[in-house]
């Protein structure tokens, strides 16, 4: 038997809008969230989840409806940006003719459930399958409830800010990778690297010992305490990437790169783990990840669920932006 369902209080609703002052529609949307809460709490999908997660789903649905009714806010901004940048309103979903960008849609609700179930940052421990049948079924249930009240929902004048995705992250421009060639003025490290690699942008090292040898013999770094990146000693399977900016090092990622010159590549390991470099902050320098995708060197990267390869490869830039945050197109 379920314990008594906890209520969402006005403070929580106002916190989601980063304001203290009530507007006259807050009571209506808070009531909607509280009406959705028992449905969420009793669903197969969220029955075993924390009270906090259940409340988050309810508030997310109310925020979504609030933006849709006002035809404004972070949700509208998000789908318009996604359309402009990626050519369709949403990642992952095949949008049907019955999708209306100025109304509410079942696919939107499914995406929002995916977002709640796939936390970003340190909480990132699993990624929900956006096409999971249970998720799509429950999206249908919630969509129907929202649709029933859509016509009577009031237009709010106090919409929440970046509740789904930060404006700054959406607006971060994609940059062109600065390729290095032997025919131009290069940083000394890059020049020495390219001479050793025969002009190739990537080199692979199985151990810190091999990397250190390269630093000293080829890059001619001083063999001094602290100068040879001692923090890397605990890692192996390095990728070294040279471009006009300098050298980038990706520790523990060489097994994912299907480069003809990479003897460390392991298709099986790549299938299981490579998706993590798109989702876990600081795991792989972004320029190296981007180089890998632009040169088809990560062919086995896939989410750990059905259609995982297709979903990742078709949405990789969005996925990286969503999960990597400040690391996306970062230095």
> What's the pLDDT tens digit per position in 282-306?
999 999 999 999 999 999 999 999 9
Tens-digit pLDDT profile for residues 100-124:
999 999 999 999 999 999 988 775 6
- pLDDT at 213 exceeding the cut of 80: yes
- pLDDT at 1 exceeding the cut of 50: no
Tens-digit pLDDT profile for residues 38-96:
999 999 999 999 999 999 999 999 999 999 999 999 999 999 999 999 999 999 999 88
Please name the helix (run of DSSP H) or strand (run of DSSP E) that holds residue 111, with its range, or none. Answer: helix 106-117
**Dihedral sign of CA atoms 247, 249, 250, 256 in order:** positive
Mean pLDDT calculated for residue range 228-237: 93
Q: Could you tell me if 202 and 209 are in contact, meaning their C-beta atoms sit under 8 angstroms apart?
A: no
What mean pLDDT is reported for the chain?
Answer: 94
CA 50 – CA 98 distance, rounded (Å): 34
* Amino acid 32: pLDDT: 98
* Amino acid 330: pLDDT: 79
Strands 236-243 and 246-250: antiparallel
Q: What percent of the chain has pLDDT over 90?
A: 89
Mean pLDDT calculated for residue range 205-226: 93
């Amino acid at each position: 038997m379920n314990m008594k369902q906890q209520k969402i209080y006005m403070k929580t609703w106002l916190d989601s809008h980063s304001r203290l002052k009530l507007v006259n529609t807050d009571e209506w949307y808070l009531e909607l969230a509280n009406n959705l809460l028992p449905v969420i709490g009793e669903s197969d999908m969220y029955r075993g989840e924390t009270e906090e997660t259940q409340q988050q789903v309810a508030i997310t649905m109310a925020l979504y409806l609030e933006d849709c009714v006002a035809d404004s806010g972070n949700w509208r901004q998000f789908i318009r940006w996604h359309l402009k940048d990626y050519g369709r309103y949403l990642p992952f979903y095949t949008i049907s003719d019955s999708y209306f960008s100025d109304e509410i849609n079942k696919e939107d609700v499914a995406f929002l459930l995916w977002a709640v179930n796939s936390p970003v940052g340190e909480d990132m421990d699993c990624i929900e399958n956006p096409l999971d049948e249970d998720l799509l079924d429950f999206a249908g249930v919630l969509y129907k409830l929202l649709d029933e009240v859509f016509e009577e929902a009031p237009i709010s004048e106090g919409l929440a800010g970046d509740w789904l995705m930060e404006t700054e992250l959406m607006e971060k421009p994609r940059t062109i990778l600065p390729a290095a060639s032997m025919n131009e003025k290069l940083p000394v490290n890059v020049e020495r690297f390219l001479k050793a690699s025969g002009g190739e942008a990537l080199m692979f090292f199985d151990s810190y010992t091999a990397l250190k040898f390269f630093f000293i013999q080829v890059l001619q770094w001083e063999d001094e305490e602290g100068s040879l990146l001692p923090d890397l000693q605990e890692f192996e399977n390095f990728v070294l990437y040279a471009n006009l900016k300098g050298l980038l090092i990706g520790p523990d990622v060489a097994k994912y790169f299907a480069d003809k010159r990479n003897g460390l590549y392991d298709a099986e390991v790549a299938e299981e783990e490579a998706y993590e470099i798109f989702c876990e902050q600081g795991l792989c320098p972004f320029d190296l990840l981007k180089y890998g995708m632009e040169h088809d060197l990560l062919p086995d990267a896939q989410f750990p669920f059905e259609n995982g390869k297709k979903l990742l490869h078709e949405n990789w830039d969005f996925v990286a932006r969503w999960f990597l945050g400040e690391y996306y197109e970062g230095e």
